[in-house]
Amino acid sequence: MRILWRPFGLRRLLKVESCRLTESESLIPLAWTSLIQKFSRAPGIFSLDQRKRFSTMPEIETSQRNSELFSPPSDVRGMTKLDRNAFKKTVTIPVLKVRKEIVSKLMRSLKRAALQRPGIKRVIEDPEDEESRLIMLDPYKMFTEDSFEKTELSILKQLNVNPQISKYNLELTYENFKSEEILRAVLPEGQDVTSGFSRVGHIAHLNLRDHQLPFKHLIGQVMIDKNPGITSAVNKINNIDNTYRNFQMEVLSGEENMMTKVRENNYTYEFDFSKVYWNPRLSTEHSRITELLKPGDVLFDVFAGVGPFAIPIAKKNCTVFANDLNPESHKWLLHNCKLNKVDQKVKVFNLDGKDFIQGPVREELMQQLGPLSKERKHSVHIVMNLPAKAIEFLGAFKSLLDGQPCCSELLPMVHCYSFSKDANPAKDVQQQAEAALGLSLDACSSVHLVRNVAPNKEMLCITFRIPAAILYKNQTLNLENHEDPPLKRQRTDKAFSGEKIQIA
């Protein structure tokens, strides 16, 4: 604690080691009677004059402040069914009485001293004088008129405002508390608090932990209450490990409607969230891959979902072949192509990934990489966004094409996603890809860190040109002789450190 003592207008800081505030006193900074008694007994503290020009300034961080004065009542701990009325609480706040006509001008000069608490008005009507207003002050800074700085006192004097500080009993309700504050007060003390979620249109998608499950319905309702536009809260109850890449979910609170609309990177997507895969945290990755392609390029999207790669790339006047095994994803992919007016540029398929590669992809590559390929100036890209299993599908490229291989710079560029829990995730993903292909990628691949999925679990994207020795039948070409120069200069470690990869 620091003590401000101002004899003859000169400020000094005196540290008092022997004085400690009780819990009740720390919660109400304006309870001066007991504080003054303690300070008067402390060694080294001078007697107070009649005006008590004396104030305290507790060294309390902002987060600690919120957990004290502005925290919900302690008796809500353990609540499993939301009772909003139980969050009512009265706190004592310092206020300054001013004439209503000067409030706007004065507030600009009292930014430091005024209460900074979202959801609480800083200026309220004076219940005793309709011509006056009360300015809420920071209870951790403002105690007496001596808490004002010289410049603030000067402004008050100019505007003929009495600097005397009064007390005001402010009633806090459920509406005044943030979602994190509510959940921290309700959940067992010391346990993790869920205040974040993935937003999918009007749906809040949470991944609750075991200790949070007894409070799941309360948590869901709080998320709806505290986030405008959210009308449904759901919790994932299994991993995405089934054939169609969706997951079972439980509606925690709100409406059962899972039909939603989202806006990502200026494109609109509509779908049934309970039947398809959608992850709003991949927005940056969708943009990154889109930026790699140029007008006229060709994209094969092996696991296209509802179109977050296919549609933006088609908008760049690229030719897109988009596939997904899930019939619901296929349906909404077609719908979203029309919705974003790219249905004439996207050919949509409903096949297993391997069948798509060895069918439509093979047929198109035979034309793209055929005898006239030397005249082609555009690139071919293959996106494989199925992190749990995509690498297993790389084997489908083995001996995919007949004939003589084209020049190395025209070979397709693969962007394959994977998860890793390894201490060196970039190396781990590269080794997984090499094992699937049966050939080293050390000289012609790069790895990009996409996002942290969970503690010690990363999502990554390995990018490489498919070696001719893999793609063509009866080829035993030396990979080093067909290395892609740009990729050789950008090794895995650089890409993993966050460098942006620009690939032609």
Q: For the sheet with 380-384, list strands across it.
A: 346-349, 319-323, 298-301, 380-384, 413-420, 457-465, 445-454
The continuous run of DSSP H or E covering 14 comes out as strand 12-15
Compute the distance between CA of residue 422 and CA of residue 305 in angstroms, rounded to an integer: 27
- CB 246 within 8 Å of CB 275: yes
Compute the distance between CA of residue 135 and CA of residue 234 in angstroms, rounded to an integer: 41
The pairing of beta strand 54-57 with beta strand 457-465: unpaired
Which of 437, 455, 454 is closest to 394 using CA atoms?
437
- CB 327 within 8 Å of CB 409: no
- Residue 102, judged by CB atoms within 10 A of its CB (0-12, 13-18, 19+), counts as middle
Q: What residues form the annotated binding site?
A: 286, 324-325, 352-353, 385
For residue 371, what are the contacts with CB-CB under 8 A and spacing of at least 6? none
- CB 402 within 8 Å of CB 472: yes
Q: Which 3 state secondary structure label does DSSP give 275?
A: coil
The continuous run of DSSP H or E covering 68 comes out as helix 62-68
Show the beta-strand stretches assigned E in 183-254.
Answer: 198-200, 203-206, 232-236, 249-254
Q: What residues form the annotated binding site for S-adenosyl-L-methionine?
A: 286, 324-325, 352-353, 385
Number of residues in the chain: 504
Compute the distance between CA of residue 63 and CA of residue 137 in angstroms, rounded to an integer: 18
Compute the distance between CA of residue 290 and CA of residue 385 in angstroms, rounded to an integer: 14
Show the beta-strand stretches assigned E in 37-186.
Answer: 54-57, 89-99, 123-126, 129-136, 165-172
